[in-house]
Structure 1
């Protein structure tokens, strides 16, 4: 973001302070937004930095999407936990076997001898007349009867049942419960990481708007002051005590200043639009920043003391560091205390951490470190889960239901039980109950070494994360040293630009007095005013650099999120 500011400064000219920019890659959701506070009569909402951060954390569209992922993680935990609860299912089906499946049946294998009893039509007639009939026997052919096609069942069939199963033991399930909770914790930390990024973006955009508005107000005062000088010079020219060239120079300078003011106005509006975007606030909502730039500027002396850095101009700042380049006070040359202070001074001035600061630095303050620890815990659970695949799995099962069949559809839904009888007294039950209980034990024996390679992959993933800790520590150390050095440099530049601004103001004041008294030239006034505006621009740019560097420093040390929550 700071680079964007520099690019805009170079593009617009030396007298313009541009706000930081960012590519508008997202769009604000059109959903209704909660109000920030009591709006003014004109509908303008007063907005402090803390209010901007709070609103962005609650309403930024990217954060809302991250929180949805967190809710998904919570639902995933419930899904895994549900696998260990009783599983109950109810099923029902009706089938029209319009073409019954047949199977070959060997009736000859059911028993019988080599002879059979014959029954003719005359025997039947005699029996009906009440006569005694003696049945004869015949010898069956020697060839066996071939298997005959036979259809089992009736055309219409139905079935309804209820089943229940309960997981009794599964090592992978127990580990999965632990992994689900860790996964939910990981989702929360990822949400916190996204919130930190939003706090950083909103803070920088807010500071950019403060600096841009302060610069715009300064340009307005410069225009007024230049108008006064131009009016006095023009009156002097009319009186014959000044040249027309002096008036023309001031007019050219005024025209340039007006153009810079117009550019600053438009870019200030752009910085406000950027702030609204980073907040997730609708662009049509007018806001009024209530924090002042003076209140936002940090105490350089106290900040230097926290950083353990001496002021390059005075040598002050850290109580452990003396003047530069003289030896630090509090010990004689060659004493241990003096040597330690000297080493700390050299370390501080080189951008590193002193021994005192290194001892107090906690990597766990960085959410990235904590997130990596959670990922490592997940990798360990994944490894245990792969190994648990070799454990047996025991499930208790039970089922109860009814099945029925009939020759036609209407008869199928008669639902006749065991007590039902036909007209001739024969049982005609068409639905029959069934039930079972049991245990299902699954013991993995051999899976083609699939689990072996899965365990290898999980172990390698765990080792990769362990290597990542060292890389992350080095990255955090670099970011800590870089942010510290950048902030110290920004403070030094701010001190220098403040001194330059004081000098430029004094030079401009003396030049105007000399010109009014007739002992100075108009060219001196124009040159002094140009130098003053350049010093003002550099000063406000230095203020912005310090504010941005402070935000980067807080993020590097893990304090940004905690400060935003206060």
Structure 2
């Protein structure tokens, strides 16, 4: 029982509707319709549907759930030790050479002399008995053919390790479930990032297509102006070079979008041959950055300053009992990207599945230690057995199965099968095991101490991940604010440059330069959007909210 329990215990720009300055990721709250395993046509796919499909069909998760089923089977194995154990046995033997045993017994002999005979003839009683020394003689017991059959039942009445094993069964099942949940969180993270990557790539591809159309219009107008003799051929050639570069960039973006879709299918566990259509828009995944900054307790890059450097930081109202100095410290910590005192107090390590799983492992270690100590307790079983045995000189006579009422031709009993049965109690008391249990208990205590040290390491790791994800998200929001401002400026400069060129007061070189700067600003803006989306997913994972949001 101890070995079984031990195995159990030891056993993841222009033409585009832009969001307000400083957008951030938000989980979509769209309905969650059931998603078929595979369709013959194009599969419509929201983010939530992609997550649901991956949680149900990702091969790595299916393997993890098989491990969960294995854990459930091991728990059943532990519980089965407390149920009645029934065994049926039968055997037949041909004793072609019977084993003999030496038997020693006394032999007495009567000796009469001639005088004794004469005395006896006269009517006198004469008898003299002498003991003879006879060596042990060999005898064979049994017949050539023998057989027996029996059924035995045993029921465990008391075993300390079994009682502890029953408690460990529930804890072990819980640990297996948490390990599966941890794997699901990894899948949710991977699918979310792949889905957002595809959204960004698809939106940028659409913007490039509109840029090509707009540039074609400018190129056509410039070419017509050249034919009229108002511009040089060099101006037309510059625009053609710019258009060729833009078309190449569009082709690269198309391949990148296809690669993003392929990555999304892989993270979902979806066959690559299945066509998909992402139904969520990039705008549906965006919320106002001010709300997110308020939740983070930080100010923006443009409004977080002031006369004292803290003028416009969007912080929550100070709780009753807090001092102005504490509020100022929290604001300064927020601007530096650190966790404020209020947020640190509200942070719950149990929101992280890793911490919860480690607590479950600690509980298992405690039960393992108790199980090792229980090896000193006695073990009590109730036993019962009943069966039949028979023997005969020939096999045919053996299988005749003659009972107690059977008689031979001469009237003598010739029974060849006899029944037997017993009931009893079996008490096993460990007395001395060579200090084996002592060293097992020492190992269990060391394991507990190791897990206790692991808690502190895990807390520090979670604190670091929380600080890193928070700082990364704040930095990504600041970069996005800046890139949005740059995009607005670049779009306005390109618009004015085109107007000046069309009115004849600007140069073609100015238009080309402005369009180049606009495309660079667009690329940087979409890159910043993706960074914010990824940073928000990492932040939700660090705070333990990613899994709960995916389950909504």
TM > 0.5 fold call: yes
Conserved? CA contact 2:358–2:451, under 8 Å? yes
Of 503-512 and 516-525, the range deviating more from structure 2 = 516-525
Structure 2 equivalent of residue 10 of structure 1: none
Structure-2 separation of matches of 1:255 and 1:140: 135
Q: Does 1:477 align with 2:477?
A: no
- Give the 5 Å matches for 1:58-97: 58-97=56-95
Structure 1 equivalent of residue 232 of structure 2: 243
Structure 1 equivalent of residue 512 of structure 2: 526
Helix, strand or coil for the counterpart of 1:518? coil
Deviations for 1:5-31, whole angstroms, at most 9, x for unmatched residues? xxxxxxxxxxxxxxxxxxxxxxxxxxx
Q: Does 1:113 align with 2:128?
A: no
- Give the 5 Å matches for 1:303-382: 303-315=292-304, 325=309, 337-382=323-368
Structure 2 equivalent of residue 134 of structure 1: none
Helix, strand or coil for the counterpart of 1:415? coil
Q: Does 1:270 align with 2:268?
A: no
Structure-2 separation of matches of 1:340 and 1:435: 83
> How far did 1:523 drift?
1.3
> How far did 1:116 drift?
8.2
Deviations for 1:235-275, whole angstroms, at most 9, x for unmatched residues? 22222222222222211111111111111111111111111
Conserved? CA contact 1:554–1:560, under 8 Å? yes
- Give the 5 Å matches for 1:460-471: 460-471=446-457
Structure 1 equivalent of residue 35 of structure 2: 36
Helix, strand or coil for the counterpart of 2:169? helix
Match of 1:215 among 197, 204, 229: 204
Structure 1 equivalent of residue 18 of structure 2: none
- Give the 5 Å matches for 1:166-565: 166-315=155-304, 325=309, 337-565=323-551
Match of 2:96 among 83, 90, 98: 98
> How far did 1:338 drift?
3.7
> How far did 1:439 drift?
1.1
> How far did 1:88 drift?
0.8
> How far did 1:147 drift?
3.0
Deviations for 1:444-488, whole angstroms, at most 9, x for unmatched residues? 111111110100000010011011111111111111111110100
Helix, strand or coil for the counterpart of 1:218? helix
Structure-2 separation of matches of 1:440 and 1:39: 60
Would the alpha carbon gap of residues 228 and 175 (structure 1) be closer, same or farther in structure 2, given more than 3 Å must change?
same
Conserved? CA contact 2:158–2:379, under 8 Å? yes
Deviations for 1:259-295, whole angstroms, at most 9, x for unmatched residues? 1111111111111111111111121111111111011
Conserved? CA contact 2:89–2:151, under 8 Å? yes
Conserved? CA contact 1:74–1:184, under 8 Å? yes
Helix, strand or coil for the counterpart of 1:509? helix
Structure-2 separation of matches of 1:213 and 1:116: 126
Conserved? CA contact 2:304–2:310, under 8 Å? no
Conserved? CA contact 1:498–1:539, under 8 Å? yes
Structure-1 separation of matches of 2:274 and 2:110: 107
Would the alpha carbon gap of residues 276 and 393 (structure 1) be closer, same or farther in structure 2, given more than 3 Å must change?
same
Helix, strand or coil for the counterpart of 1:325? coil
Conserved? CA contact 1:159–1:402, under 8 Å? yes
Structure-2 separation of matches of 1:72 and 1:512: 69
Conserved? CA contact 1:328–1:342, under 8 Å? no
Helix, strand or coil for the counterpart of 2:255? helix
> How far did 1:91 drift?
1.0
Conserved? CA contact 1:314–1:324, under 8 Å? no
Conserved? CA contact 1:38–1:45, under 8 Å? no
> How far did 1:209 drift?
0.6
Conserved? CA contact 1:297–1:543, under 8 Å? no
Structure-2 separation of matches of 1:53 and 1:348: 33
Structure-2 separation of matches of 1:467 and 1:506: 59
Structure-2 separation of matches of 1:255 and 1:455: 76
> How far did 1:563 drift?
0.7
Deviations for 1:137-196, whole angstroms, at most 9, x for unmatched residues? 999996x43333332211111110010001111001100111111000100011111111
Helix, strand or coil for the counterpart of 2:452? helix
CA RMSD of aligned residues (A): 2.5
Would the alpha carbon gap of residues 156 and 242 (structure 1) be closer, same or farther in structure 2, given more than 3 Å must change?
same
> How far did 1:38 drift?
12
Of 382-391 and 146-155, the range deviating more from structure 2 = 146-155
> How far did 1:68 drift?
1.2
Structure 1 equivalent of residue 14 of structure 2: none
> How far did 1:112 drift?
2.3
